[in-house]
Amino acid sequence: MPLTPTGAIIHAAAAAAQGVGAFNVIQLEHAEAIVTGAEEAGCPVILQLSENAVRYHGALAPVGAAVLAVAKAAGVPVAVHLDHATTPELVEEAVELGFTSVMFDASVLEYEENVRATAAVVARCHAADVWVEAELGEVGGKDGVHAPGARTDPGEAAAFVAVTGVDALAVAVGTSHAMTTRDAALDFDLIAELRAAVPVPLVLHGSSGVADEHLTLAVERGMTKINIATHLNQVFTAAVRQALAGNGELVDTRRYLGPGRTATAAEVARLLQVLKAPVLTA
């Protein structure tokens, strides 16, 4: 199936009050597992590469090309997204490689600086038909939208979208990145207020820390793109640990990464049901 524009997946889901799983890739096995899980569920999905993952690999082009190849070979609609890019140069490289969307993160900047930088990225990306996500966090806050206790003001969010022209907005409603427990307390009333005030789809970062039933409720209240990374890493790593613990002589990486890939695919398929993701019809 051809690589699918991120906007086409997101806007169809938003119109139907459904969620879209956006899962982070580190190794090739992650990309393969996410697509396999989406195929099992019969749902579209977004493969994400973060700036941190790019730094781990040393460059965007090799891992980006691999992820794009996996997406293009999928049997369901798959988009490829650059997550948390902090420089226009990395955004430009992703656009040139063929990524269908980018998330430009200037949330640590003062508000006016964030607006200027984000608007410039939006103009460049829209000229290339690339969809842009941004985030609005604490003014000058180190952790931006994901600082503990941070909350997005609906009026400020609407104004930010209007002046920058972004296609989606990540908002602060109670989550934090890299949580290994699923006990984040979401502000569901604020999600509903933001949905009413902001004219573009809303994005929930740090969703690994949210319990299943609260992920479903977040989608029902107005969230569309749901980013999950740490939780899948936990699932993958648990399966690898089990495989290695069961055989002290194991040296073939396929014999332990394979179980990690299988477990992750099953969890992706399950999570897409939790998120009320669109199910494709024949």
Q: What is the mean pLDDT, run by run of 10 residues, along the chain of 282 residues?
A: 93 96 97 98 98 97 98 98 96 98 90 94 98 72 53 92 97 74 79 96 88 92 95 96 91 95 98 95 64
Do the domain assignments include residue 279?
Answer: no
Do 200 and 167 touch, CB atoms closer than 8 A? yes
Q: Alpha-carbon distance 282 to 264, whole Å? A: 25
- DSSP 8-state class, residue 101: E
Do the domain assignments include residue 37?
Answer: yes
Do the domain assignments include residue 282?
Answer: no
Owning domain of residue 224: 6-274
CB neighbours of 112 closer than 8 A, spacing ≥ 6? none
Do the domain assignments include residue 90?
Answer: yes
For residue 162, the domain's CATH number is: 3.20.20.70
In the prediction, which pLDDT does 139 show? 29
Kindly tell me the sign of the dihedral angle through the C-alpha atoms of 239, 267, 145, 44: positive
Catalytic residue among 83, 105, 167, 187: 83
Answer yes or no: 129 catalytic. no
In the prediction, which pLDDT does 140 show? 29
In the prediction, which pLDDT does 110 show? 86
Q: Which of 137, 75, 154, 61 is nearest to 103 (CA)?
A: 137
Do the domain assignments include residue 281?
Answer: no
Do the domain assignments include residue 236?
Answer: yes
Do the domain assignments include residue 153?
Answer: yes
Do the domain assignments include residue 128?
Answer: yes
In the prediction, which pLDDT does 208 show? 79
Q: Alpha-carbon distance 120 to 118, whole Å? A: 5
Do 27 and 47 touch, CB atoms closer than 8 A? no
- Please count the structural domains in the chain: 1
